[in-house]
Amino acid sequence: MMKATPFLLGLVFLGFVSSFAQEKIWNETAEQKEKRLKWWTEDRFGMFIHWGLYALPARHEWVRNRERITNEDYQKYFEQFNPDLYNPREWAKMAKRAGMKYAVITSKHHEGFTLFDSQHTDYKATNTPYGKDLLREWVEAFRAEGLKIGFYYSLIDWHHPHFTVDRIHPLRKETAAEYRKVNKGRDMAKYRKYLHDQVREILTDYGEVDILWLDFSYPGEFGKDREDWGSVELLKMVRELQPKIIVNNRADLEGFNGGGDFVTPEQFKVPEWPTVNGEKVPWETCQTFSGSWGYYRDENTWKNTKQLLVLLIETVSKGGNLLLNVGPTARGTIDERAQHSLKRIGDWMKFNSPSIYGCTQAPKSYKVPQNTLLTYNKKKHRLYVHLLDYPLQNFVLEDYKGKVKYAQFLHDGSEIQMKEPYGHAFDFEMGEKDVNLALPVVKPNMEIPVIELILH
């Protein structure tokens, strides 16, 4: 038993004080949070939409940063912006057919241009040749198709005169002296108020908003953190305006109750279910079809259908959500490459979505067969085996004896018989706790066939 020395007592006291020192955004319990996130956790799959003036240069949404473009030199895109083919109902139908259950659109990206008719800026879609609020039409269209709606809002703003130049700004410098000089006259407090005012607008003027996707903090030298954004006050306002809303984790509020609801690994695959302080946490990975979030005409690193489906299945197999991005063109269309990918995903989801919706990581008691991914529906007590490589005849489930009541292909509901393995000219030994599924030699016409196991 450790002696309660003054040093140890001091540590305990500091820990006690620091737990209260962090401002409370609200006092939601773990159970209340789980209930609030239930629809999102079950829906699993959403559409991310990156759309703004950067669709005109059509070479990445960070083009201003990459090419150090000034406000003046970027103005030509504002003057040219007129998405005459914009029809968000078409977008919503594509998302729905792909099996997406929610969608998040960039109401404002780092460039500072707003798709919505903000009363706090002239740098908005309503002042371009297009002349209308793009966000309102989008909200109505996606709600009409039954999808939940979310707003991405960039904390960063490379256009605003009071947003101070920092290490990722198009006007970024090298030395502290240069930063002092370039930021002379810029008042970050004025930008902070603008930021809060605009978030208030998008959470007040468009009805119930299901998701707020803030992006992003970069603390450290010449960076920006929660103090710059006023994140604690911002999230208190968000929770007050929209108590049911689900918010991501990029306002630099790790550890604050209510500071962010899910973690957001992007553009890579997590090795396992992400944890914070050893606890599994809600998570959503955001990913692109290709190497850019915004429309990038000449970028060709497009993932193929199998890669995209494995991304979705693997995400759910680790208890997460996938937010898959499209970058519409300057005309307001989703380009044919993205449409093709969405259609192929939808072809698979049409028959196999029960292995995605309402599913999560399988219990450890079910061993993962080679070249497969498992997902599990706890409520239905069903296990889904995704065949990434198609086995030949015998498919042995190790240690599944007594666990499986019935097996079928998910896509057509045809029975898969559990019987002694096929073997010719060689004795095939199977463990006494194993179960063999007799598969047809011909692989079903499914990008990734799924076996549904009805469990005891």
The residues of the shown chain that bind ligand GLC, judged by CB under 6 A, are: 50, 61-62, 215-216, 266, 286, 293
Rank residues 217 and 436 by Cβ distance to ligand GLC and give the closer one.
Answer: 217
Residue that is written with structure tokens 């599913």 in the block: 359
Least Cβ distance, residue 54 to ligand GLC (angstroms):
9
Distances in whole angstroms, Cα of residue 200 to Cα of each of 196, 236, 323: 6, 11, 24
Least Cβ distance, residue 388 to ligand GLC (angstroms):
27
Rank residues 65 and 341 by Cβ distance to ligand GLC and give the closer one.
Answer: 65
Rank residues 286 and 383 by Cβ distance to ligand GLC and give the closer one.
Answer: 286
**Encoded tokens for 167:** 């290490």
DSSP 248: B
Distance between CA atoms of residues 358 and 316, nearest Å: 9
DSSP code per residue over 48-72: EE--SGGGTTTB-TTHHHHTT--HH
Q: By the 8 A CB rule, do 102 and 211 touch?
A: yes
Strands 211-215 and 246-247: parallel
Rank residues 163 and 409 by Cβ distance to ligand GLC and give the closer one.
Answer: 163
Least Cβ distance, residue 34 to ligand GLC (angstroms):
24
Rank residues 293 and 296 by Cβ distance to ligand GLC and give the closer one.
Answer: 293
Least Cβ distance, residue 70 to ligand GLC (angstroms):
19
Rank residues 77 and 216 by Cβ distance to ligand GLC and give the closer one.
Answer: 216
Least Cβ distance, residue 396 to ligand GLC (angstroms):
41
Rank residues 44 and 50 by Cβ distance to ligand GLC and give the closer one.
Answer: 50
Amino acid identity for residue 47 in this structure: M
Distance between CA atoms of residues 188 and 184, nearest Å: 11
**Encoded tokens for 453:** 């196991």
Rank residues 267 and 371 by Cβ distance to ligand GLC and give the closer one.
Answer: 267
- Phi first, then psi, for residue 364 (nearest 5°) are -60, -20
- Close Cβ partners of 63 (under 8 Å, ≥ 6 residues apart): 54, 57, 69, 294
- Close Cβ partners of 319 (under 8 Å, ≥ 6 residues apart): 273, 280, 283, 360, 361
DSSP helix/strand/coil, 432? coil
Least Cβ distance, residue 152 to ligand GLC (angstroms):
7
Least Cβ distance, residue 238 to ligand GLC (angstroms):
18
- Close Cβ partners of 67 (under 8 Å, ≥ 6 residues apart): 170
